[in-house]
Structure 1
Amino acid sequence: MIAYSEVSAFTSTPGQGNRAGVVLDASALSEAEMRELAAFLGAPETVFVTRMALSRTGPSAVRVRYFTPTQEVDFCGHATLALGLLLAQGGHWRGEALELETLAGRVPLRLLSEAGVPHQVWMQQQRHEVRPLPTTLRTELAEALGIDSRMVHRGLPMAAASTGLWSAFVPLLDPTILDALDPDLERIAMLSAALDVGSVYAYAPMGVSRFAARDFAPLLGIPEDPVTGSAGGALMALLARAGHLPVRGGRACGVIYQGHAIGSPGEVEVEVEMRGVGDVMAVHVGGCAVLEREGIWKRGQG
């Protein structure tokens, strides 16, 4: 019997944001059982803690694995945030130095509390990487999203980028177009495979440092991810690198609003550390989370 929790990340309102499964003690689970439990929960991602080495006097480390309902992935932002909240609420973590050991690398976490109550979890994502996408793909990507290529923004970057998980970023002219997308998920899956990315992430400007977004990941078994921390960090770093975000004191900050089109709104806060022009040093992503429910899974249950 394995205890699990379901947590909504990037929101403080139950039923909104992005749902993640969290298993705090998965040390006795096989990979097949992790896959089975992730499929049973049906959340976009479930995070499994396979080793927990916590210390009150020195750095702590937690080894994790992430699974969608169909496969394992190297990293997941919203499940990381959900795990951090549960560790804090359960008294396992009080804000001391903590790193997650993931397949994508080490991910330092930072806890913000208000009046002694855990409020936000921030993660430092992996090194920002970018691959250019040929402009000849603009029409194909637009059609896969169900729009005309004239609705693609020519002044914002269209590229593949990653801070732990690769996505293809497609800029649109405004949020109205974003909300009305009619994606061809089969075509998006084929394009994702051809581009070696996990998702196609469409975004549109809402203000100087505010963007709306939708993330389609059928290749990973997720038709549309409600709110995506890993891609949110990669997008803001991409924009900062291209000079589309104001930089003050070596930092560019912004907010991404995602999930509204499918009734699960959430907010991803991002802070990008910059050195000079176009040189991204670190990407930090933060947000709130709320515990939805807890349960017990019996091996072979689903």
Structure 2
Amino acid sequence: MEIPVFVLDAFTNLLFKGNPAAICPLMHELSDDLYQKIATEMNLSETAFITRTNPSDSFSTGSRFRLRWFTPTNEVNLCGHATLASGAMLFEHQNNVNPTVVFETLSGDLAVTKKGDGYVMDFPLNPPGQEVQVRVCELKCVFACVTQVAVGNHPVQDVCLSPTTKKLMIRLADSCDRSVLTSLKVDAAALQSTEKSGRVKGLIITAKGSPDCQPGYDFYSRFFAPWNGIDEDPVTGSAHTVLGSYWSEKLGKKKMLAYQCSSRGGELELEVRDDGRINISGQAVSVLQGTITI
């Protein structure tokens, strides 16, 4: 059996920046075990598998597809960069004729629309739960070790948990600029050994941006998910379903420009909508096209 595979860098217009994802368009479903083995072999943050919902459709004519995402260790419920890369693969490599494609996923229907040089994704918004959003001093009693491992002695302004995504968010104090965030040396193994309760599956560290300085980023972030086999994810769309909600409220803005400060780096345009969803926009660059032979 031969399986086509494409690798695209998402949330960037430059090769070898952004977040790479492997995309496999399939004529029929494979076993979960085989999905996982392929994802482990690809060894990227996510490998996405696209299948047709209507057997009479092709990848060029269809407007609805099934989409699943696997890390090197497990399947995940939501992934932004691999969804962006999947849409880009259909538009750029399969010449899909539709202005919008919709993916049926574990997080419901996710639409990707081609717009200019980039793509707009229609995603769910995952605000931090108010019932667990408490003062830093109180939350430290629960997540003190995680906070210490993540940011050391740097001042923290806010900590909250998104219960739907199990992402813990730490906001550095506004006295910390972007250089503090980028210089953090987070021990991913220590994070995983510190938090074993299952309440946390990802860690976001964020800081307020400088919208008055070009290019005008409203906030910065980094993301770590050793619980899913990813020490640090370069650019994370799913994390911005949490960050978008949080910073929209704090900044009083619906439209924001965000930058994820990994070594590869990536830019995301966000628009929080009144219907409880968020538009996440970005570009993607194709890096590789090949065949997996099984």
For normalisation by structure 2, the TM-score amounts to 0.85
Amino acid at match of 1:125: F
Query: Paired residue for 2:149, among 123, 134, 144?
Result: 144
Amino acid at match of 1:269: E
Structure 2 residue 286 is the aligned partner of structure 1 residue 291: yes
Mapped pair 1:69 → 2:72: yes
Gaps of 5+ in 2: 212-216
Give deviations 1:43-67, integer Å, cap 9, x for gaps.
Answer: 10011013244599x9821101100
CA contact (8 A) 1:26 1:48 kept: no
1:24 Cα shift?
1.1
Letter paired with 1:203? T
Look up the equivalent residue of 1:184 and give its one-letter code. Answer: D
- The answer as to whether partners of 2:127 and 2:245 remain within 8 angstroms in 1 is no
Letter in 2 for 1:287: G
- Partner amino acid, structure 2, of 1:35: Q
The one-letter amino acid of 1:141's match is V
Q: Does 1:224 align with 2:249?
A: no
Write the letter of the residue equivalent to 2:126: H
Q: Which residue of 2 aligns with 1:245?
A: 251
- 1:121 counterpart residue number: 119
Asked if 2 retains the 8 angstrom alpha-carbon contact of 1:170 and 1:201, the reply is yes
| Residue type at the aligned position of 1:185 | A
Distance (whole Å) between structure 2 residues aligned to residue 191 and residue 255 of structure 1: 33
Tell me, yes or no, if the aligned pair for 1:272 and 1:281 is still in contact at 8 Å.
Answer: yes
> Relative to structure 1, is the Cα distance of residues 281 and 133 closer, same or farther in structure 2, using a 3 angstrom cutoff?
closer
SS in 1 for 2:250: coil
Letter in 2 for 1:160: L
**What is the 5 A alignment of 1:186-205?**
186-190=189-193, 193-194=196-197, 196-205=199-208
> Where in structure 2 are the equivalents of 1:57-206 lying within 5 Å?
60-113=63-116, 119-131=117-129, 132-134=132-134, 135=136, 136-138=138-140, 139-148=144-153, 150-152=154-156, 154=157, 157-161=158-162, 165-172=165-172, 173-190=176-193, 193-194=196-197, 196-206=199-209
- Within the candidate set 205, 209, 213, 2:221 is matched to 213
Distance 1:166 1:284 in 2: 21
Separation in structure 1 between the aligned mates of residue 115 and residue 196 of structure 2, nearest angstrom: 38
Query: What amino acid is the match of 1:210?
Result: D
Aligned-residue CA RMSD (Å): 2.4
Matched residue of 1:235: which SS? helix
168 and 178 in structure 1: CA distance in 2 versus 1, 3 angstrom threshold = same
Preserved contact between residue 85 and residue 284 of structure 2 (Cα < 8 Å): yes
**Distance in structure 1 (CA, Å) of the matches to 2:190 and 2:119:** 35
Aligned to 1:32: 33
* Counterpart residue type for residue 142 of structure 1: T
Alpha-carbon deviation of 1:137? 3.4
Give the direction of change, closer, same or farther, for the CA distance of 1:35–1:193 in structure 2 (3 Å limit). Answer: same
List per-residue Cα deviations over 1:75-126 (Å, max 9, x = no partner). Answer: 110000001111111344344342110011111222113xxxxx21111112
1:127 positional shift? 4.1
Q: Distance in 2 between matches of 1:73 and 1:216?
A: 14
Cα distance in 1 for partners of 2:72, 2:26 equals: 19
- Specify whether residues 295 and 224 from structure 1 end up closer, same or farther in structure 2 by C-alpha distance, changes over 3 A only: same
Q: Is the 8 A contact 1:18 1:78 kept in 2?
A: yes
TM-score (norm 1): 0.83
Q: C-alpha deviations, 1:2-29, integer Å up to 9, x for none?
A: 1101110000101000000000116242
Q: What is the aligned partner in structure 1 of residue 18 from structure 2? A: 17
| Aligned counterpart, 1:116 | none
Distance change >3 Å, CA 285–CA 130, structure 1 → 2: same
Partner of 2:214: none
**1:46 corresponds to:** 47
Alpha-carbon separation, structure 1, partners of 2:161 and 2:279:
19
